[in-house]
Structure 1
């Protein structure tokens, strides 16, 4: 009996394959049942993972809350702010307490704090204060997103409650657990206190700089306001902007940054609908003036403020943390030297009288070049009132910058020596035409020692042009003064800088000359210890050899002449002590004002024991606030202070390194036998002289017309003849020749002068000898008069006259051409461009 045919599994599979299912399983549904099982298993695991995560989160949250409550309950009455840090001098004697609770905090109930004051702080520090429970998760997320976008920590996320927790219950130690502890305390505070109570505590505990805690105390200190209801909007915004960085946004110490921060606060208040645009604009324009309450008679205030700045930088602690954690800060302060300096700066007779309440200001830094320690610092005559530390503010240095940018770099090349010859001839370098204002304006070829002694401007510019601007900038950078691309021009040869330098920078740079080329980091902090005596910082930086010892020796040799008879810094001399240094004067630089008055005057100098810099000038310069005198008054202050300070120091002498060369070994013979004659065939004046012995000797020809006061270099030749064809009829010409050895930068004394007259008919009178010739003006032996000439105005401000290049003088052979956009005006011992940043 035939059985019915049953389709086999393979046949079904084949048919299934034919219908388009290619290789997906071994049959209908054979592979689907395991997939469903895996999905169910994954869902079960996911459920348990989520459950465990929720449980962990709840447990973690409870632990955080319990931890916060435990800390809160255990320390509810604890205030770390009462633990004042102490500053001691180099001998371990206490000189100041950085915080004294009595009188520096006055509690103000929330009912006495106006709503606009409360709103200003909330808008600035924590605009979601009334919405979160102590920790702003939304704010944290927003901050994290911004940090990721910026690839750095650009925005914080601490709430007002967290800040209060930190100020009340946490010490100044920073650990990886601190932020979490801060958050736990904040959550606990929100459980126990109302928002107004939290805000009240916050406004009475935050730090406002200058040892002032709480909004009421700060209002009294900065604005002489006892009743907070009397605070004006601009004052409120100023206070609200300070907690983020009390030192940076302090209106006394940094009035400009304070105004900038105030504008930010006002914008935040406006954006949140708390004030009108008109109110915002009016409040932003107000200018802060120090209050009477801030004019406290504190000793060593400028030095102590600098100590705090340095300590913050070295430890990464905030000023508040440094003041409130009971640290002992050992400093480099010499109280005797500091007292002497402050006393001299308090003597009004040492300063010019002003026409109004804006007085002539000054600053001074004294540094020990042998270890980099700061001995004393004066930030101004009324520093306790202003808080503007002029010792670290930039001003134009004038000729006091010449050793750093001109002479030091030239000596470092090994091609120049103090007796090397430099050119003091009126000439232009491209579009830049410097000039001297010495009594004998131009002297021709002179020794480098004479050029710096009499502070001759053209010689300094010529020298920098010879060695190249790049070498000058690189040398200055090694001394700690970094100049930008905008300063890559020849005006820097005379101290014409875009932003200027600080007295501290100048003292540091000169200290390397005084210390055999070794440069230390200037420092005021020796060590910092916590309440348990554990050291958290100690100065141990080593010096850097920034120049050859011979360079430092030669610079010292050059600068010694400045303080001697005939130099510009004779008033800095100290009886019985070796003093060297350099003066500096910068002119007014005010458009449309022609005056011989000055903007800045300097003296920077050193002895074998100490280095010091002195600056005088007005904080804000205008036509009514300029100095009548010159750098002599700064030199006098140097002498007055240092003569007393050095009484406690054993006399030393500058070391003489090996390899120092003597002048006698480097002198070239003067050119002799000079004769001049007129040649009708070539229509020229022919010069002939006797060769000078030596290798690679060239000869420089100088000429002046009868109507001219100064000689100009006509050419440099290798032979002993020269034909001058640049002649005019009816003119009398006088010539002299010098020998020059480029390998050693030596130039001989001038030859005898010879004079010849070319008549209209091109007939000539015989050359004369010494009796009929005009001689080079003699070098002045007395102290130069520090006179100045009217400034060249800034292009665009007023018409300026630029001298044309001298005939026969080739353009400078350098790729570093000076910028025509930064003109320089010449003074007695230095020049400055009409550019720069000055305090307003």
Structure 2
């Protein structure tokens, strides 16, 4: 034997000895295959058992509920608090009509199959490829996001199941689908599908949808673009129906047409032609019914609180108990249908409006109209944001100021020509009497003066105002951290519903309720599935709500909101207008007009304006028309409602209003020809008081203006002209309490022509001996010519062009003395001297603050 044939140990290998390693490997392989066999066998057994269970479960459900195949869903009902039915939901907007498969054109069938389930004629109820794709997407998203339902599964879901996207529900849905395929033909299943699918806008079934959206009663007359539009709706009925979203509908139509082309059902040319047609809403899609806005709002709220999809909610046999007051709702719909309540438009585009009424005690929504032409599922303007104008002042300025404890209705604010933000923001308003100086909060809001609201917000801080608004349910973004919010200058605006909710806190004594239209929902078995239980949250002091209510009552009793008065009812509220602000349009018109107000029973908000404001479409009248509509509707709605009273805080006596001084008596005025002056004297009204002297003349230059403040009980007026009759009155002023008395009786003094021909005698005191605040000689012209606040005229008498239009301005309440007329600057004297105030004139109009409030005509 050669050495190469020997083993390393020098021994010849034994060919007869067994190889132990190979034997072990074979043994292991045998065990593995045995285990794999049993695992496979177990898997097959489990699969068979599972499949049988699925089939048996589907057969069981189907056999138990066979009647549902021939039963149209049980309509849900909307009722009022007494149980009176307002609406059956499945018929709202159209009746369901069943159509046999033989009467449904083949092209219609093909479009739905191509879009919803292109393997419909190939699978047995469940599309395994579709399920696999859906599972992958669900795993990636970590939630059930992909439906993967076949047409048969959709029939199973719509008839037998709820719409929850869970694995258990999907499994049951598949089992029913398999059972359906065993008992129904493909045509029968497709017929069930096309007659039960939801098309949005309250429309179920292909026939009613075709009639509603296209006014086509005979399905054979549907055109390709219409068929594709209908086939695209079921994926998301509220998104893809052409009435709500024509752009989204067109986009979805393109998807359907592309699918049909890919599957060889239409040509490219047919697709392009069908895409080019523009949808025009027919009259059949604009029918309305009673309570339409309210019912739509109820359905949306019900979806939110139950989590049910719309079609299941509407056809599940639920009873929805609402908070509606049908008398108020009917009154609102009646007045919104009356064109005389709205100003006439220049063309077919009519001015719009919206209104909502709330019970402030619990947040119940009493009535609601979303527009003059509101149709089902339409544009509900009650929930859309608009600029609120001066109606926002109590929310962001007056309310938080009173809440701070530093301000009260009788507190004096400033109405001066002031610019903020380095001169970039100079608020003004349309009042004929601008910048009247000191003015009480009650008078400032009654006359809807803008500068005091801005001045006050500047004093308390924008953050304070924003935080207070947030407590009332109105969240303002970072872009609204500025003084313009005092006048309602908001980036996104607020809705009538938000305004009514915020004002309800003032009406209820400081408690903010949660707005709701549903009291309770029960299912078809009478079991309660939802019940409203939220309680109002106290968001401000009771005294704050009381004082805000008090000043808002003044707006209605004698301010800009007088047209909102209701006979026999106490009304508080605030008007609001927003400036037009269109470049190139010189007009006193507005974008929006508001009235937000309340009685002790209900709170309401009214808005009027155009959906799109432009050079032709804007509001030409003031907020008085909104106030008048409030009065009409609330008067009718409250007719049989028991009268209540506003809550009065128990702690109110701790913050009693200071008492105003007694009125001045014994006023005497005489013309002194030698001194060329008018000398006034009067009786003292008490210790620690000063006196304010008011004057007007008979030249027609204006009304009463503040002439001077005196520490003694006498005053000498040197700023006089010949042949002019002057009328004077005097008030007492308590600087500590910031209270002014009622006006004294008036006196008249006539300056004779002797002034022109008779020079002062030599013994007259020299000018240097006159009081320092008086001019050294009689003025040579009138009025003064100062240009900025705090700058007096050049020897002129008080400017008269901006004086008040009423005389005198006494108040019947101690809380508000006479209005301080224009021309009374904070630091100026009445004679327009070197240290004169704003009465020296205000040449140059200030920049507009963006929002104004025009007083309503009485």
Give the TM-score, by structure 2 length. 0.72
From 495, 512, 532, the counterpart of 1:502? 495
| 1:761-772 → structure 2 map (5 Å cutoff) | 772=797
Partners in 2 of 1:633 and 1:154 — Cα distance? 50
Return the index of the structure with the highest Cα Rg. 2
- Distance between the aligned counterparts of 1:317 and 1:221, measured in 2? 25
Distance in 1, matches of 2:141 and 2:777, equals 77
Deviations 1:206-230 (A, max 9, x none): 1123432111111101221223344
Shift of 1:544: 1.2
Segments of 4+ moved more than 6 angstroms: 28-36, 171-176, 275-287, 666-670, 738-741, 746-749, 767-771
* Residue equivalent to 2:97: 106
Per-residue CA distance 1:7-45 (angstroms, 9 max, x = gap): xxxxx9xxxxxxxxxxxxxxx999998787566545433
Superimposed CA distance per residue, residues 171-200 of structure 1 (whole angstroms, 9 cap, x where no aligned partner): 689997433221111122334445454333
Give the aligned length: 693
- 1:199 correspondence with 2:190: yes
Q: Does 1:352 align with 2:340?
A: no
**Aligned equivalents of 2:572, 2:92: Cα separation in 1:** 48
Once the two structures are TM-superposed, the CA of residue 268 in structure 1 deviates from its matched residue by 5.2
**CA 146–825 in structure 1, closer or farther in 2 if over 3 Å, else same:** same
2:230 maps to 239
Is 1:467 aligned to 2:492, yes or no? no
Question: CA 1:251–1:334 in structure 2 vs 1: closer, same or farther (change >3 Å)?
Answer: farther
Alpha carbons of 1:491 and 1:306: their partners in 2 closer, same or farther (altered >3 Å)? Answer: same
**Aligned alpha-carbon RMSD (Å):** 4.2
Is contact 1:328-1:528 (8 Å) kept? yes
Name the counterpart of 2:591: 599
Contact 1:81–1:325, Cα closer than 8 Å, also in 2? no
Q: Among 584, 592, 612, which residue is 2:604 paired with?
A: 612
Q: Does 1:414 align with 2:402?
A: no
Cα 1:419–1:115 shift into 2, 3 Å:
farther
1:632-658 CA distance string (max 9 Å, x none): 111001111111222212222111213
Aligned to 1:60: 50
Equivalent-residue separation in structure 1 for 2:523 and 2:152 (angstroms): 27
Contact map agreement 1:396 1:501 (CA 8 A) in 2: yes
2:814 is equivalent to residue 826 of structure 1: no
Alpha carbons of 1:768 and 1:637: their partners in 2 closer, same or farther (altered >3 Å)? closer
Deviation at 1:289, TM superposition (A): 4.8
Distance 1:265 1:295, change over 3 A: closer
CA distance in 1, matches of 2:63, 2:849: 69
| Contact residue 290 and residue 386 of structure 1 kept, 8 A | no
| Shift, 1:271, TM fit | 6.2
**Residue 94 to residue 326, structure 1, CA distance change in 2 (3 Å):** same
| Cα distance, 1:823–1:232 mapped onto 2, change above 3 Å | farther
Q: Are the aligned partners of 2:775 and 2:795 in contact in 1 as well (CA < 8 Å)?
A: no
Give how far 1:503 is off.
1.4
Deviations 1:766-814 (A, max 9, x none): x9999954579555559x9xxxxxxxxxxxxxxxxxxxxx999xxxxxx
Aligned partner of 1:376 among 341, 358, 367? 367
Asked if structure 1 preserves the Cα contact closer than 8 Å seen for 2:74 and 2:316, the reply is yes
The secondary structure found in structure 1 opposite 2:283 is: coil
Q: Is the 8 A contact 1:146 1:155 kept in 2?
A: yes
1:543-596 deviation per Cα after TM superposition (whole angstroms, max 9, x unaligned):
11122212211211121111122x111100112211000111123343432322
1:331-410 paired onto structure 2 within 5 Å: 331-384=322-375, 387-410=378-401
CA contact (8 A) 2:293 2:376 kept: no
1:80, distance to aligned residue in structure 2 (A): 4.9
Distance 1:378 1:134, change over 3 A: same
Corresponding residue SS for 1:550: helix
3-state SS in 2 of match to 1:329: strand
Q: Distance in 1 between matches of 2:26 and 2:215?
A: 79
Q: Provide the rounded CA distance (Å) in 1 between the counterparts of 2:367 and 2:47.
A: 57
State how far apart, in whole Å, the 2-side matches of 1:39 and 1:48 are.
Answer: 14
2:625 equivalent among 633, 654, 677: 633
Asked whether 1:645 is paired with 2:637, we answer yes
The reply on whether 1:164 has 2:164 as its aligned counterpart is no
SS in 1 for 2:850: strand
Q: Deviations over 1:815-838 (max 9, x none)?
A: xxxxxxx995333359xxxxxxxx
- 1:675-720 deviation digits (Å, cap 9, x = unpaired): xxxxxxxxxxxxxxxxxx99xxxxxxxxxxxxxx9xxxxxxxxxxx
- Choose which of 428, 431, 441 in structure 1 pairs with 2:419: 428
Quote how far apart the aligned CAs of 1:621 are. 2.7
Question: Is 1:322 aligned with 2:347?
Answer: no
1:44 pairs with 2:54:
no
1:753–1:437 Cα change, 3 Å: farther
Which residue in the other structure is 1:266 paired with? 254
Is 1:491 equivalent to 2:479 in the alignment? no
Q: Which whole-Å deviations, capped at 9, do the CAs of 1:231-251 have from their partners, x for residues lacking one? A: 455544443343234345454
Deviation of 1:418 (Å): 1.8
CA contact (8 A) 2:331 2:636 kept: yes
Match of 2:570 in 1: 578
Q: 1:100 offset after TM fit, Å? A: 4.6
Tell me whether 297-306 or 36-45 shows the greater mean CA deviation. Answer: 36-45
Describe how 1:401-800 pairs up with structure 2 within 5 A: 401-430=392-421, 431-565=424-558, 567-660=559-652, 662=655, 664-665=657-658, 754=773, 772-774=797-799, 778-779=803-804
Match of 1:814 in 2: none
How far is 1:491 from its partner?
Answer: 2.5
**What's 2:843 paired with?**
none
Q: Cα gap change, 1:211/1:826 in structure 2, threshold over 3 Å: closer, same or farther?
A: closer
Verify the 8 A CA contact 2:446 2:555 in the aligned structure 1.
yes
Post-superposition offset of 1:540: 0.9
SS in 2 for 1:826: coil
Q: In the superposition, relative to structure 1, how do residues 478 and 74 fare at CA in structure 2: closer, same or farther (>3 Å)?
A: same
The answer to whether the Cα contact below 8 Å between 2:501 and 2:512 also exists between their aligned partners in 1 is: yes
Deviation at 1:416, TM superposition (A): 2.1
Q: Secondary structure at the match of 1:240?
A: helix
Judged with a 3 Å threshold, the aligned counterparts in structure 2 of structure 1 residues 655 and 421 are, in CA distance, closer, same or farther, namely same
Instruction: Give secondary structure in 2 for the equivalent of 1:323.
Output: helix
Could you tell me how far apart the structure 2 residues matched to 1:397 and 1:286 are?
40
Asked if 2 retains the 8 angstrom alpha-carbon contact of 1:585 and 1:827, the reply is yes
Q: Where does the alignment leave 5 or more consecutive residues of structure 1 unmatched?
A: 1-11, 13-27, 671-692, 695-708, 710-737, 760-766, 785-805, 809-821, 831-840
Residues 261, 271 of structure 2: 8 Å contact kept: no
Q: Secondary structure at the match of 1:371?
A: coil
- 3-state SS of the aligned residue for 1:825? coil
Structure 1 residue 333 displacement after superposition: 1.3
2-side partners of 1:807 and 1:48: how far apart? 103
Partners of 1:352 and 1:776 lie apart in 2 by: 32
The answer to whether the 8 Å contact 1:422/1:445 transfers is: yes
- The verdict on how the C-alpha distance between 1:42 and 1:377 changes in structure 2, with shifts beyond 3 A counting, is same
**Partners of 1:285 and 1:366 in 2: CA distance:** 44
Instruction: Note closer, same or farther for the CA distance 1:286–1:405 as it changes in structure 2 (3 Å cut).
Output: farther
Name the SS for the 1:365 alignment partner.
strand
Asked whether the equivalents of residues 94 and 212 of structure 2 are also in contact (C-alpha less than 8 Å), the reply is no
Cα distance in structure 1, aligned partners of 2:795 and 2:160? 92
C-alpha distance in 1, partners of 2:774/2:272?
A: 73
Unaligned runs of 5+ in 2: 1-8, 10-17, 664-686, 689-701, 703-732, 742-770, 779-791, 810-825, 829-846
